Structure 1
């Protein structure tokens, strides 16, 4: 009989281990209950906070006046069932019983010894008991008790339903986590205050309790006075009347002020240590929901220019910087900043790199760091566009091999512009005005939209001159699936055919370029309505 039970139990355990539906279901509830990064957890938290608040309000109102029948029905059945189901689900996902059975069975088969039911039950019970005795689980269990209204004393546990909200508030959990990191200091302060309060209460009882003070009739009265005084609350209902008692009051007040100062310094230092981590978590939560993100790695001179230009163009920008002073500078400039090392894969994986990031711009002052950033980014995503800064041509080759799509060489560009200025100063002024946009003319890229009036047309079919535009080049994708890489046709002839995803490099006034883009968008919408 025992062998038959073992066989069925082990078979069922192996079935659960290999059942995809069971695994998906358990993973879903585990994410819903415990994974803060799960997209549906915030909705579950909001729902549970609503249930908790509504039940607390009903129970508090019912203390003085009878609530409506349907509210009693909601609190007794709906709320109670939700709490019980949540408690059982948390108990279920805490550990896997079938894995304990499989492990014990394989161990018994390997060592050729009998299958131990006692050991399996003991280990399963130990794992479940570990959860049941945790503080959050105890609060969850006690929070169910106020539902049984027939036992009036259980109404005192209504407070624990409010405590349940701590589980669903990340800010409150962070606050308690910060305090827990200073538990040694807080524990030492609590012991010191407890010892001093006990000594002060006994002393005040000796000097004031022997018929000297009518308000101190017992040791508890003395303890009450000491606690009220050391916390600097000072209700004034008990005041010393003897000289010795007043001297003790002075010592207790001074000690209380010192303790409060010490406690404040502990909390401030704890928050100061954890504040950067909290800020980083907040930034990660924000960018996790962002698409088409541009990562600017390095906030030096070039990084500042790139970040500010991208933000003015309406692009989504995240600065990654490892230097604390530059992080502070980027925050003051209004950018979202991640204080991290972009050369590490963990930094980019936290951002859901392939899903969220459109481009990586590696513009640190160190060429080697830019190479590592490029390798790191390309290893995680083969389609992301990478723009890297370098100072030497030998490094440029390495960056190309590492996967960079485009290179920025500030020194070489500066030298070329200097040569242009010496030979053609007027042309240099015009070029500088266009690049810095100090004038109304500029150079811009315009992508040919599918279904627009240029899709399938030739360059000569559109009069760019009449629109106050100069067509400088046409960039065509190397393949339909590779839109990041293009070959360039400078000064394209009139018979050059244009297709969707081609990029036109045009120069003109701001108003001319804006009008040209607007006409293209309008033609796309018109064609969609016509079809």
Structure 2
């Protein structure tokens, strides 16, 4: 699902940084084991081979040790005892590292953090899209029809369950609580959007959305529902391009149906 959360849990970023720190420590410990094993094997090597040859052989055997590969049957007793101890240390370090790293990236806060990072990249490339504010009955119908027409739809919502539903239906989504909804609009790339459609049943909210959207992109076409003529004038003053009064549409449809029926009877 593609959901950008304005109030993304900051703990996710902290956990990711902690995982990276632990991963670096784990790698450092394994390198330390490798270096210690190499040094020990060089000291225990009683051959008359040149030092660089003994060093390379020791490094090779130590690398085989840390990767659990190789055959050490040619070692003498002292070397085998040393390698046995080194194997035990390697297993302890590996088990310790795995226990420290496992599970830290599977929490919901980390998943939200990673999803936000991926969504940020999506938003950076977004252009020519239609922003739909709200995803209740009207917002769902508008978004569905826009998608059927081949439009890229970005839905802005304040409810987490509606955000999940919008994402499941194939929309890009920005989720932000009411007190940070202005941040959601700023993230919606209104500068490159094709249009904005507000579908909130709250008339005051639609006025606020229109004012803020117009301040971010003065040429952006904005369609908003209005309750009456007074509200329509207020929305147009705020910058709405098209204000649709639902009662007018219903009244016209009813009268049209009645006229068609009357003509059919006559």
Relative to the length of structure 1, the TM-score reads 0.34
TM-aligned CA deviation for residue 304 of structure 1: 1.4
When residues 382 and 195 of structure 1 are mapped into structure 2, their CA distance, relative to the original with a 3 A threshold, is: closer
CA shift at 1:377, angstroms? 2.0
Choose the corresponding residue for 2:199, options 363, 387, 395.
Answer: 363
Partner of 2:68: 234
Q: Distance in 1 between matches of 2:110 and 2:64?
A: 28
Alignment of 1:311 onto 2:147: yes
Match of 2:89 in 1: 251
Instruction: Give aligned pairs, total.
Output: 225
* Deviation of the 1:296 alpha carbon: 0.6
Matches for 1:440-519 after TM superposition, within 5 Å: none
Q: Specify the alignment match of 2:30 in structure 1.
A: 193
- Give CA deviations for 1:422-450 in whole Å, capped at 9, x if unaligned: xxxxx79x79xxxxxxxxxxxxxxxxxxx
Equivalent pair of 1:200/1:248 in contact (CA under 8 Å): yes
Equivalent residues of 1:284, 1:351 under 8 A apart? no
Rg larger in structure:
1
Whether the 8 Å CA contact 1:202–1:222 is kept in 2: the answer is yes
Provide structure 1 residue ranges, at least 5 long, that are not aligned to the other structure.
1-178, 212-216, 421-426, 432-469, 471-531
Secondary structure at 1:343 match in 2: helix
Residue pairs, 1:320-469, within 5 angstroms? 320-321=156-157, 323-339=159-175, 343-344=182-183, 346-348=186-188, 350-353=189-192, 356-357=193-194, 359-364=195-200, 366-389=202-225, 398-404=234-240, 405-407=242-244
Tell me the equivalent position of 2:137. Answer: 301
Instruction: Give me the whole-angstrom Cα distance separating, in 2, the residues matched to 1:210 and 1:194.
Output: 25
Q: Hey, what's the Cα distance between the residues in 2 that align with 1:221 and 1:368?
A: 78
- Whether the 8 Å CA contact 1:283–1:337 is kept in 2: the answer is no
Cα offset, 1:374, TM superposition:
0.5
Q: 1:195 to 1:319 in 2, by over 3 A?
A: same
Tell me, yes or no, if the aligned pair for 1:297 and 1:342 is still in contact at 8 Å: no
Give CA deviations for 1:453-511 in whole Å, capped at 9, x if unaligned: xxxxxxxxxxxxxxxxx8xxxxxxxxxxxxxxxxxxxxxxxxxxxxxxxxxxxxxxxxx
- Contact 2:191–2:217 (Cα < 8 Å) also in 1: no
Deviation at 1:383, TM superposition (A): 4.5
Contact 1:283 1:338 in 2 (8 A): no
Given the superposition, is the C-alpha separation of residues 375 and 310 from structure 1 closer, same or farther in structure 2, using an over 3 Å criterion? same
Contact 1:296 1:320 in 2 (8 A): yes
Q: Whole-Å Cα distance in 1 between the matches of residues 245 and 92 of structure 2?
A: 65
Structure 2 unmatched ranges of 5 or more: 1-15, 48-52, 261-266
Offset at 1:402? 1.6
How far apart in 1 are the matches of 2:169 and 2:216? 30
Distance 1:221 1:275, change over 3 A: farther
Q: Map residues 87-236 of structure 1 onto 2, 5 A cutoff.
A: 184-202=21-39, 209=45, 218=54, 221-230=57-66, 233-236=67-70
Q: Deviations over 1:134-192 (max 9, x none)?
A: xxxxxxxxxxxxxxxxxxxxxxxxxxxxxxxxxxxxxxxxxxxxx99975444433333
Q: Could you tell me whether the CA contact under 8 Å between 1:387 and 1:408 is conserved in 2?
A: no
CA RMSD of aligned residues (A): 4.5
How many Å separate the matches in 1 of 2:45 and 2:20?
36
Tell me the CA shift for residue 260 of structure 1.
5.6
Which structure has the higher relative contact order (CA within 8 Å, separation 6+)?
2
Partner SS, residue 83 of structure 2: helix
TM-score, structure 2 normalization: 0.60
Distance 1:318 1:227 in 2: 52
Among 101, 116, 139, which residue is 1:276 paired with? 116
Q: CA deviation at 1:307?
A: 0.3
Residues in 1 aligned to 2:225 and 2:55: alpha-carbon distance in whole angstroms? 76
